[in-house]
């Protein structure tokens, strides 16, 4: 009863989706080709690799970084990323003193164009309930312990603003290219539940 | 509505469990559900607030026992039935004898506010608050849709940013008008929300519409106005 489980057998929800799809196709309200196009978009084109490109560029291009913190929606669109749940993007900067963490307590709002669809843990009742009242405890669930002097800012996405955390660039990455940097940026670091680690030499 | 979806600050759900190398979808039905529900919402000409409210109206025990995409399916069924696009009986798969039509679209009825005059055609409303203003989240308990969670109601915070004008979910979800108004990032000290033992190095930022907020007058001003009022009374 955790709500995090996912049904993998073919009963229950599978039958109901089939019924929905068949009925609406029969009524001429949906086009089966549109279904495949939507699935393809979120399985292959839109995902955390988009956000990683934004972060890597912000780490290597100071002018871009400035534009990103001034207007993230436009700066993200420069890289070709836009779409549903991305009309009002805001970038949050993690520093030595401030750590940002994003949640949606009322449902599971998430910045789709830059991170794709949310992972199960982000949608879980455990995360939605405790991220606001005990963020340090939640970060410990992810193995992240922050010094007590670091201020934690929790962002509850209750409206149409969608937040992207820009993690700190790890030490020892000065010689890496933008592409190499994009490859080490993780989804979790862009929600604020992890730091980016430099690759082991 | 004060539903089980309003989870901020609840205990008892256990630790957050992260899955390694998680796929976008865990089963083919999830893949279909995501796409079909997206198309249902388009076909029904609904809006995101109405969809969220249809999820919130899933009876609490069922809400807690359902996964994310199961809740999406249930909400899509509710919207199709309420918009009279399909009936419960039609929504039961012909070959599936295990589903009772009464289980389909069994959301609690929506009880929304009365329609308001939509002034969206006129110039955008002026902001009542500015960055740095002290505000209190009002103690509202609407029976319809709202994006004002229980854990901030009655609490004092500070306007961090004005995001501009957005349609009001509390009326938009019920097709009772867009009622566009300013939406603000409001910052709260974690101790105001959760009490003294909380670290002073935690802040909560949440986006709240203007109607959810009331001003907190600064204290010295209060005293002066009271004194003035007292003087006025004496003179009379």
Minimum distance, in Å, between the CA of residue A128 and any CA atom of chain B: 6
Cβ-defined contact of B18 to A47 (cutoff 8 Å) = no
CA contacts within 13 A on the Cβ side of B60: 7
**8 Å CB contact of B17 and A126:** yes
CA distances from B116 to B167, B168, B213 (A): 12, 11, 19
pLDDT at B186 over 50: yes
pLDDT at B121 (0 to 100) = 59
Query: What three-state secondary structure class fits A55?
Result: helix
Return the structure tokens found at A180: 């190499």
- Domain residue limits, chain B: 28-103, 134-219
- The sign of the torsion formed by the CA atoms of B98, B101, B102, B105 equals positive
Give me the CATH code for the B28-103 domain, please: 1.10.472.20
pLDDT single digits (tens) B166-182:
999 999 999 999 999 99
**Under DSSP, is residue B171 helix (H, G, I), strand (E, B) or coil?**
helix
- Whether A104 is catalytic: yes
Higher pLDDT, B101 or A116: A116
| Cα torsion angle, B120, B206, A88, B47, sign | negative
- Helix boundaries (H) for chain B: 28-43, 48-56, 60-65, 68-82, 88-91, 169-172, 190-194, 219-235
Residues 6+ apart with CB under 8 A from A128: A103, A104, A105, A108, B7, B8
On the question of pLDDT at A142 being above 80, the answer is: yes
Q: Is the pLDDT of residue A4 over 70?
A: no
Query: CATH 3.90.330.10 region(s) of chain A?
Result: 47-191
Residue given tokens 């979806």 in the structure block: B5
Catalytic residue among A2, A74, A107, A133: A107
CB–CB of B24 and A116 under 8 A?
A: yes
B159, B130 Cβ separation under 8 angstroms: yes
Q: What percent of chain B has pLDDT over 70?
A: 88
Tell me what pLDDT residue B235 has: 47
State the DSSP code for B150. G
ipTM over 0.85: yes
Question: How many Å apart are CA B90 and CA A20, to the nearest integer?
Answer: 9
Distance CA A155, CA A133 (A): 12
A102-114, pLDDT tens digit by residue? 999 999 999 999 9
How far is Cα B189 from Cα B139, in angstroms, rounded to an integer?
Answer: 18
Q: Are B8 and A130 in contact (CB under 8 A)?
A: no
The pLDDT value given to residue B114:
85
pLDDT tens digits for range A6-52? 544 445 888 889 889 999 999 999 998 999 999 999 998 999 999 99
Distances (CA, A) of A118 to A46, A85, A132, A135, B221: 11, 12, 18, 19, 47
Question: What CATH number does the domain located at B134-219 have?
Answer: 2.30.30.50
- For the cut 70, the answer to whether the pLDDT of residue B116 exceeds it is yes
Q: Which residues contact A87 (CB under 8 A, 6 or more apart)?
A: A73, A160
Instruction: Read off the pTM.
Output: 0.92
Shortest CA gap A172–chain B (Å): 26
Query: Chain A contacts of B98, Cβ < 8 Å?
Result: 11-12, 15
Å between A60 CA and nearest CA of chain B? 28
Give the single-character DSSP code of A200. Answer: P
Place of tokens 């196709």: A25
Interface of B with A in 146-165 (CB under 8 A): 147-149, 151, 163
Residues A51-91: tens digit of each pLDDT: 999 999 999 999 999 999 999 999 999 999 998 888 999 99
The first and second tokens of residue A46, run together, are: 């839109």
| Catalytic pick among A2, A74, A104, A133 | A104
| Cα(B230)–Cα(A147) distance, integer angstroms | 52
Beta partners for residue B134, in sequence order: B158
Q: What CA–CA distances, in Å, run from B206 to A103, A185, B158, B193?
A: 10, 26, 11, 12
- The answer to whether A107 is a known catalytic residue is yes
Q: Which fold has domain A47-191?
A: Nitrile Hydratase; Chain A (3.90.330)
What distance lies between CA A195 and its chain's CA centroid? 14
């Amino acid at each position: 009863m955790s709500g995090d489980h996912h049904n993998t057998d073919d009963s229950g929800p599978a039958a109901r989706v089939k019924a929905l799809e068949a009925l609406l196709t029969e009524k001429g309200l949906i086009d089966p080709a549109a279904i495949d196009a939507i699935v393809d978009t979120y399985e292959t084109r839109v995902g955390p690799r988009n956000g990683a490109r934004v972060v890597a560029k912000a780490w290597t291009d100071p002018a871009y970084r400035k534009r990103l913190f001034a207007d993230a929606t436009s700066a993200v669109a420069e890289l070709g990323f836009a779409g549903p749940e991305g009309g009002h993007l805001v970038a949050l900067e993690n520093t030595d003193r401030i750590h940002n963490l994003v949640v949606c307590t009322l449902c599971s709002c998430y910045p789709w164009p830059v991170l794709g669809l949310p992972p199960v843990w982000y949608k879980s009742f455990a995360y939605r309930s405790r991220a606001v009242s005990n963020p340090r405890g939640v970060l410990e669930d992810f193995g992240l312990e922050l010094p007590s002097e670091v201020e934690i800012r929790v962002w509850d996405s209750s409206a149409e603003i969608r937040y992207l955390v820009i993690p700190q660039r790890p030490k020892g990455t000065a010689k890496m290219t933008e592409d190499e940097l994009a490859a080490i940026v993780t989804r979790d670091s862009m929600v604020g539940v992890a730091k980016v680690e430099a690759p082991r030499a | 509505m004060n539903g089980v979806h309003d989870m901020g600050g609840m205990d008892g759900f256990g630790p957050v469990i992260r899955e390694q190398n998680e796929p976008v979808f865990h089963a083919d039905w999830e893949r279909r559900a995501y796409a079909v529900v997206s198309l249902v919402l388009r076909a029904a000409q609904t809006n995101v607030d109405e969809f969220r409210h249809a999820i919130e109206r899933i009876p609490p025990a069922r809400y807690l026992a359902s996964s994310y995409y199961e809740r999406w399916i249930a909400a899509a069924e509710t919207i199709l039935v309420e918009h009279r696009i399909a009936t419960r009986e039609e929504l039961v798969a012909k070959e599936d004898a295990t589903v009772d039509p009464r289980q389909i679209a069994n959301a609690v009825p929506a009880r929304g506010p009365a329609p308001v005059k939509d002034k969206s055609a006129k110039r955008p409303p002026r902001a009542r608050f500015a960055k740095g203003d002290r505000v209190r989240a009002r103690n509202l308990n609407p029976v319809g849709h709202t994006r004002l969670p229980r854990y901030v109601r009655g609490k004092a915070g500070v306007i961090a940013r004005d995001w501009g004008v957005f349609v009001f979910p509390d009326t938009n979800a019920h097709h009772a008008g867009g009622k566009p108004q300013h939406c603000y990032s409001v910052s709260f000290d974690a101790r105001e929300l959760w009490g003294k033992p909380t670290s002073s190095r935690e802040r909560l930022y949440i986006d709240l519409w203007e109607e959810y907020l009331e001003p907190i007058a600064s204290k010295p001003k209060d005293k002066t106005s009271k004194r003035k009022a007292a003087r006025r009374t004496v003179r009379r």
